[in-house]
């Protein structure tokens, strides 16, 4: 039986980061992945393919928009197969970085198969191989959650794992779930000519975002997609080559039948833990997730859980961060606490949504109205966005009374790029005023954030005691 210092189960972002980091520090590492290719959901079904599709769809959308504005004529339909080929090429290019050969070159034993715990220090792989480890990392990710409604097992529905195999755009598509994944892909597919209807249980989109930001995105999306809010999927029927779904309004109980050509299930995610045999290792779970402490340890201190399986923040960059922390905690026993305080995320709709830290509502609830400041700038007042004729959006920064950043939010074209500066500032304890002192080239999109920060100094310099003091000084200086 092979024995290892660290056994990593799962070859996605978290698992690869932990395995590579541990091996580079001299640990003997085994990496077990059930699929033949490494890279996980992000590379094959998530971040990479979705962004490749989004970029292609945006190019098509912009071409139509520009043609209409400049009096040009565009003929024919955009071929979604070309976009899917771009998706495939992107995956293949990045796959080289996540190849078996690369990780084996780092001294890691890469094993293909599904792992099941035999006890707290031993796992068995599907080929019958048993592996013993001092410490383990569970990094098996998540998969689409499929609600068990009547008839769902009789139709060929799409998920994020199959939608990138489309050869042609369906004429009509229903999307179950108005979360980030559902909306990013819905908007993209619609730009290839599909009539898309989104079924969402809540009364509005983006319930966790600033209200103005959510409203801005929703207004834009409603120009491209149809929505049924406060609604649930009740039944699915197959009629010839069409799918008929029964949708019920949760408030009124009104039932409606929609006929579509494709059904995209995007109702959430579930952690991949069913076949791990966690009960054999004494690892506790709660609501389907592996329970971890602030050091990412499970109920068994030598077994760690990172990424989507622990239910903290289901993002690839968070999984990578947790993977790095594992190297310190699992390999060296440093016991560093995980913190999500300075972790941002982006929703890649068009326009994009950027989120960091507390919202205004959360900040007021935590610190009190009198202890926070809010600085907001509309993009229609920022020269570069005016020049681009793309002024829909805003920046909002929440601070304490001394200017320390509590949260930052934005909506606008490529907001995920030009808001990164404030992540650095918040991570390193800078105040909002410090961003105002950074010299930015003119005209750039980053001026939106700088001008928001300028408001801090404008308030300091032109309100309160400072103007009176400076007025006296100027008179004396003359």
CA distance 97 to 418: 27
Q: Which two tokens stand for residue 79?
A: 């071929």
Q: What angle do CA 59, 65, 70 make, to 5 degrees?
A: 120
Helix, strand, coil shares, percent, the chain, to 5: 40, 25, 35
User: Is 181 one of the annotated binding-site residues?
Assistant: yes
- Is 285 annotated in a binding site? The answer is no
Question: At which residue do the structure tokens 């990138």 appear?
Answer: 164
Can the peptide bond before residue 289 be classed as cis, meaning omega within 30 degrees of 0? no
- Contact criterion met (CB below 8 Å) for 107 and 23: yes
- 51 annotated as belonging to a binding site for a ligand: yes
Q: Is 464 labelled a binding residue? A: no
C-beta separation of 53 from 78 below 8 A: no
DSSP state, 328? I
**219 has which bridge partners?**
none
Distance in angstroms (rounded) separating the CA atoms of residues 422 and 16: 28
Q: Is 142 marked as binding a ligand?
A: yes
The answer to whether 107 is annotated as binding is: no
* Helix, strand or coil, per DSSP, at residue 441: coil
Q: How far apart are CA 18 and CA 370, in angstroms?
A: 44
* Residue recorded with tokens 């024919």: 76
How far, rounded to the nearest angstrom, does the alpha carbon of residue 89 sit from its chain's CA centroid? 22
Q: Does 193 belong to an annotated binding site?
A: no
Task: In whole angstroms, give the CA distance from residue 231 to residue 194.
Answer: 21
Q: Are 129 and 8 in contact (CB under 8 A)?
A: no
Query: Is 352 annotated as a binding-site member?
Result: no
Instruction: State how far the Cα of 253 lies from the Cα of 247, in Å rounded to an integer.
Output: 9
Is 179 within any annotated ligand binding site?
A: yes
The Cα 446–Cα 423 span in angstroms is: 13
Name the DSSP letter for residue 337. P
**Closest Cα partner for 235 from 143, 147, 145, 144?**
147
The candidate with the shortest Cα–Cα distance to 310, out of 276, 334, 286, 340, is: 286
- For the chain, the residue count is 478
**DSSP assignment letter at 202:** S
For β-strands 2-9 and 130-138, DSSP reports them as: parallel
SS (HEC) of 77-100: CCCHHHHHHHHHHHHHHHHHHHCH
* Residue 421 assigned to a binding site: no
Task: Kindly provide the residue ranges of all beta strands, DSSP E only, lying in 14-166, ordered along the sequence.
Answer: 29-33, 109-112, 115-119, 122-125, 130-138, 142-144
Q: What is the DSSP letter of 330?
A: I
Is 182 marked as a binding-site residue? yes
Is 268 labeled as ligand-binding?
yes
Q: Is 54 annotated as a binding residue?
A: no
List residues forming the annotated binding site: 51, 140-142, 177-184, 200, 268, 308
List residues forming the annotated binding site for NAD(+): 177-184, 200, 268
List residues forming the annotated binding site for FAD: 51, 140-142, 308
């Amino acid at each position: 039986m092979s024995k290892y210092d660290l056994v990593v189960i799962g070859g996605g972002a978290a698992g690869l980061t932990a395995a590579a980091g541990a091996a580079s520090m001299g640990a003997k590492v085994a990496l077990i992945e059930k699929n033949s290719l490494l890279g996980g959901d992000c590379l094959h079904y998530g971040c990479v393919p979705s962004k490749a599709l989004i970029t292609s769809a945006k190019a098509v959308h912009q071409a139509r928009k520009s043609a209409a504005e400049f009096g040009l004529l565009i003929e024919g339909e955009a071929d979604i197969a070309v976009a899917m080929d771009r998706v495939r090429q992107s995956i293949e290019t990045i796959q080289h970085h996540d190849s078996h050969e690369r990780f084996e070159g780092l001294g890691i034993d890469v094993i293909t198969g599904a792992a099941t715990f035999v006890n707290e220090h031993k796992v068995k792989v599907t080929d019958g191989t048993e592996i013993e480890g001092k410490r383990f990392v569970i990094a098996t990710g998540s998969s689409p959650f499929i609600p068990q409604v009547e008839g769902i097992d009789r139709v060929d529905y799409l998920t994020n794992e199959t939608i990138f195999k489309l050869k042609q755009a369906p004429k009509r598509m229903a999307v179950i779930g108005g979360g980030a994944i559902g909306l990013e892909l819905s908007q993209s597919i619609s730009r290839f000519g599909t009539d898309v209807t989104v079924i969402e249980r809540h009364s509005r989109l983006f319930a966790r975002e600033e209200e103005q930001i959510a409203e801005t995105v929703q207004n834009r999306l409603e120009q491209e997609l149809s929505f049924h809010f406060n609604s649930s999927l009740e039944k699915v029927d197959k009629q010839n080559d069409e799918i008929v779904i029964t949708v019920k309004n949760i408030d009124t109980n009104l039932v409606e039948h929609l006929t579509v050509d494709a059904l995209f299930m995007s109702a959430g995610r579930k952690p991949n833990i069913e076949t791990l045999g966690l009960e054999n290792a004494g690892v506790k779970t709660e609501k389907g997730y592996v329970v971890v402490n602030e050091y990412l340890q499970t109920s068994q201190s030598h077994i760690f859980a990172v990424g989507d399986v622990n239910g903290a923040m289901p993002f690839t960059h968070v999984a990578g961060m947790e993977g790095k922390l594992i190297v310190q905690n699992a390999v060296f026993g440093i016991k560093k606490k995980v913190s999500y305080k300075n972790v941002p995320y982006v929703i890649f709709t068009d326009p994009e949504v950027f989120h960091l830290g507390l919202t205004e509502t959360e900040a007021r609830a935590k610190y009190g109205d009198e202890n926070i400041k809010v600085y907001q700038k509309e993009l229609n007042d920022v020269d570069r966005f005016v020049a681009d004729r793309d002024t829909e959006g805003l920046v909002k920064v929440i601070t304490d009374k001394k200017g320390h950043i509590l949260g930052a939010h934005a909506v606008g074209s490529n907001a995920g790029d030009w808001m990164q500066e404030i992540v650095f500032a918040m991570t390193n304890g800078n105040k909002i005023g410090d961003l105002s002192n950074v010299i930015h080239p003119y005209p750039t999109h980053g001026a939106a954030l700088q001008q928001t920060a300028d408001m801090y100094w404008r308030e300091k310099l032109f309100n309160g005691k400072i103007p009176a003091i400076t007025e006296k000084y100027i008179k004396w200086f003359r």
